[in-house]
């Protein structure tokens, strides 16, 4: 008995909607939208939540390391930290007790 697999429907070679990168980006966008919605109810943004999660796991993590781990610039990371501090969710020392941060 000869069972053959039916051919795949033809798609244009440039159909980006079938590329793995496109599909991953769509999944990331859906996840981000869902996270934004839930976190907004708690007055948080995704970067703020990610920062709080990291600080819970690694207390005392440097500003530069937090920024790298949350995929934001050091400047944006400082804005996130300042917002968390103003909301009373974290405390930060007045001055850093170590040298300059890595780029």
**pLDDT tens readout for residues 11-25:** 666 888 889 999 999
Q: Alpha carbon 65 to chain centroid distance? A: 14
Q: Is the dihedral of CA 43, 85, 83, 79 positive or negative?
A: negative
Is the entire prediction scored with pTM above 0.75? no
Tell me if 82 is assigned to some domain: yes
Tally of structural domains, the chain: 1
Tell me if 47 sits within 8 A of 89, measured CB to CB. no
Tell me if 12 is assigned to some domain: no
Domain of residue 75 covers 44-93
Tell me if 5 is assigned to some domain: no
Which CATH number does the domain housing residue 89 bear? 1.10.10.10
Residue 72 CB neighbours (<10 A): 17
Q: How confident is the model at residue 51 (pLDDT cuts 50, 70, 90)?
A: very high
Report pLDDT for 1: 56
Tell me if 70 is assigned to some domain: yes
CA R_g for the chain: 22
Name the DSSP class of 103: -
């Amino acid at each position: 008995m000869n069972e053959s697999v039916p051919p795949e429907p033809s798609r244009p070679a440039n159909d980006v909607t079938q590329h793995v990168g496109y599909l991953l980006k769509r999944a990331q966008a859906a996840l981000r939208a869902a996270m934004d919605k839930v976190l907004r109810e708690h007055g948080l943004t995704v970067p703020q939540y990610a920062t709080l999660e990291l600080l819970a796991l690694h207390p005392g993590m440097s500003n530069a390391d937090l920024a790298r781990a949350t995929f934001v610039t050091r400047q944006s990371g400082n804005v996130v930290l300042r917002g968390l501090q103003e909301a009373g969710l974290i405390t930060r020392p007045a001055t850093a007790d170590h040298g300059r941060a890595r780029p």
